[in-house]
Amino acid sequence: MIKLHSEKKASWVMEKLILEAESIPLQKTKIPSITPEDVLVEVRSCGLNFYDNYIRHGLGVDVKFPCVLGLECAGIVQNIGSNVQDIKCGDHVIVHCPKGGALSDYIVIGQSNVLTVPKEIDFDEASSLTVNYLTAYFSLVEIGGLKNGSSLFIQGAAGGVGWAATQIAKLYENVIVFGVASEYKHSEIKSNGVDYAFTYEQDIKSEIKRICPEGISIVLQSMVGESFHKNQELLAPLGKIILIGAKNMVDGESRNLCNILSAWWNTKNISPYSLIMENRAVAGVLI
């Protein structure tokens, strides 16, 4: 998380990080005005997500430069519009910013994207809740149909969404969680609730079939390319693979055209016939 709050600034001036084509400068600008449906929030902490990295590499959807990054933040309400209900000045809140803009001292956003939280929750912790946990919840519960006795395979169990998905899965009874992460992270993901931990280099399919011969109920997939197709083979009949990202497209400090082309080239077309014959589903989630 990034802390942007400054104790000394003029009441009408704020700072924000502007993503331009070649740099990310810090600029001063006027604090935006609000409409009757808006909330003005002083940002105390901001979460950084993988989608911010997509935008930095020029892969965001409908993004025009310059822009302000940041999909989520936490802070204190400073002003509310005349039609805003159940939120008041001084409330501690978390904010979901689907169009970005959280990397600012202040943000103006509609009430529907603001949720009050207890003041006992640390701003850094609060600012990481919306994107990770909403993505995990919608993927597992709304789309995946997670229930007691399900089995779950998480690619990237040590990441924000994978971490949240593990915790949500363990709210249900008798759910088996398989997680993939670098070996040095295995103790952490197991302490978070993962039952069986694997590295990316292991022969995952044979081991999972041994433990769970009927197949996996839900695969939470964070990479495109070859692994996307291999992991479909893990699914049980009526199982679902849910794609939440394509992190292997943006490895490295700068955009790598070879990585992008390789990821897409190795993501073969999905056969409707095979989905029907094998009773499987493929879905995608973007929060």
Would 213 be classed as within a structural domain? yes
Query: How does pLDDT run across 105-124, given as a tens digit for each residue?
Result: 999 999 999 999 999 999 99
Q: Rounded to whole angstroms, how far apart are CA atoms 231 and 235? A: 7
CATH for 42: 3.90.180.10
Q: What pTM was computed for the model? A: 0.80
Does residue 1 lie within any of the structural domains? no
The side-by-side arrangement of strands in the sheet containing 114-116 is 106-110, 38-47, 72-80, 92-96, 114-116
Instruction: For residue range 85-98, list pLDDT tens digits in order.
Output: 999 999 999 999 98
179 three-state secondary structure: strand
The enclosing domain of 210 has a CATH number of: 3.40.50.720
Residue 244 CA to residue 126 CA, distance in Å, equals 22
Residue 277, pLDDT > 80, answer no
Last residue of a domain, one of 128, 159, 192: 128
- Flag whether pLDDT at 273 surpasses 70: no
Q: What is the pLDDT of residues 29-62, one digit of tens each?
A: 888 899 999 999 999 999 888 777 767 766 666 6
54 and 99 part of one domain: yes
Domain boundary among 128, 156, 191: 128
